[in-house]
Amino acid sequence: MAHLLVTGGAGFIGSNFVHHVLEHTDHHVTVLDKLTYAGNRASLDGLAEDRFTFVQGDICDAGLVDELFSAADAVVHYAAESHNDNSLHDPRPFLDTNIIGTYTLLEAARRHGTRLHHISTDEVYGDLELDDPARFTEDTPYNPSSPYSSTKAGSDLLVRAWVRSFGVRATISNCSNNYGPFQHVEKFIPRQITNVIRGIRPKLYGTGENVRDWIHADDHSSAVLTILERGEIGQTYLIGADGEKDNKTVVELILSLMGQPADAYDHVTDRAGHDLRYAIDSTRLRTELGWQPRYRDFEAGLSATIDWYRDNESWWAPTKDGVEAFYTSKGQ
């Protein structure tokens, strides 16, 4: 039994991880989350009270972070500003949380000798051409495109430097696009599902040819737990489940799974600097640590996700109008 501190545990992937850990291990979990617009305390409702503690606070608060590290056996760091479109509109919070916040955690890990796992993204590698058979590996050079991905790249480099210079016991994972329950309606898949529920036509940026490599959030959680248990200190692991799909195909699938004509969507203004394609080669994680994804059927996973949004309108409804008003103001 261990005590895990999970930053950003009220967000999409962090909350999925907390549910996964409480279901599959006997660890105690403390969540540290600021509850920004992206955090939702309700995503952690119903967890066993004797194994779960929630602390509302900022990862940039060095005093609070120090106190929480002193009680933790290991830290899993999910907290971040995570949305590319917001980073194009207002980059500053991305610098604060993604860079200074990660620095604050690294300094605490250094003082306490705490094991740290840093959650990152495949976007640090930039993008691939649509017709390029290559996929990202742990050796692909960093080449981030957006304020979001550049601050994530910066945070990864801080982790590497603290491992090498100060002996911090850290690992890093870079995962592809996640889908599943508890994802904010600003993101692509939940935005389109909730649009259809509300009678709004789905919105596709540009041509819709851009490719993302989809993985279910629960498979991301099992991979992170595997790295925490068996990963080599100082190592980076790419997490992916061979789920490449172009955006147009995903929108058409959502529409047909929801009983609508597959072409009932609109093309809208493209994202500035829009990355073309992400694709992950997760050979290291699979061969060295023996991890395998469980959700191999994207259509079945998407269908279950649609059901979750239909069944949990009270979770997403309070944020929907504000998100759509923001996108409309940007022509998206």
Residue ranges binding ligand DAU (CB under 6 A): 82-84, 121-123, 176-177, 187-188, 191, 203-205, 210, 212, 247, 271, 278
Shortest distance in whole angstroms from residue 271 CB to ligand DAU = 6
Return the structure tokens found at 128: 């691939």
Instruction: Match 């119903």 to its residue by tokens.
Output: 46
Distance in angstroms (rounded) separating the CA atoms of residues 246 and 262: 15
Catalytic: which of 58, 81, 122, 244? 122
**Closest among 57, 3, 289 to 171, alpha carbons compared:** 289
- Pick what 278 binds: ligand DAU, ligand NAD, none; C-beta below 5 to 8 Å, kind-dependent: ligand DAU
Contact status, residue 216 vs residue 224, Cβ threshold 8 Å: no
Between 201 and 274, CB nearer to ligand NAD? 274
User: What is the per-residue DSSP string for 79-91?
Assistant: -S---HHHHHH--
- Pick what 162 binds: ligand NAD, ligand DAU, none; C-beta below 5 to 8 Å, kind-dependent: none
Q: Of 58, 218, 219, 281, which one interacts with ligand NAD (CB under 6 A)?
A: 58
Distance in angstroms (rounded) separating the CA atoms of residues 123 and 138: 12
194 lines the binding site for ligand NAD (CB under 6 A): no
Contact status, residue 327 vs residue 205, Cβ threshold 8 Å: no
Task: Indicate the DSSP class of residue 277.
Answer: B
Q: Collect all residues with Cβ–Cβ distance below 8 Å to 143 and sequence separation of at least 6.
A: 125, 126
- Pick what 151 binds: ligand DAU, ligand NAD, none; C-beta below 5 to 8 Å, kind-dependent: none
243 lines the binding site for ligand NAD (CB under 6 A): no
Q: Of 84, 171, 178, 194, which one interacts with ligand NAD (CB under 6 A)?
A: 178
- Pick what 118 binds: ligand NAD, ligand DAU, none; C-beta below 5 to 8 Å, kind-dependent: none
Q: Which of residues 27-46 bind ligand NAD (CB under 6 A)?
A: 33-36, 38-39
Which uninterrupted H or E stretch holds 172?
Answer: strand 170-175
Shortest distance in whole angstroms from residue 214 CB to ligand NAD = 9
Looking from the CA of 33 toward its CB, the CA atoms found within 13 Å total 28
Summarize as ranges the residues that interact with ligand NAD (CB under 6 A). 7-8, 10-14, 33-36, 38-39, 58-60, 78-82, 97, 101, 119, 121, 152, 175, 177-178, 184
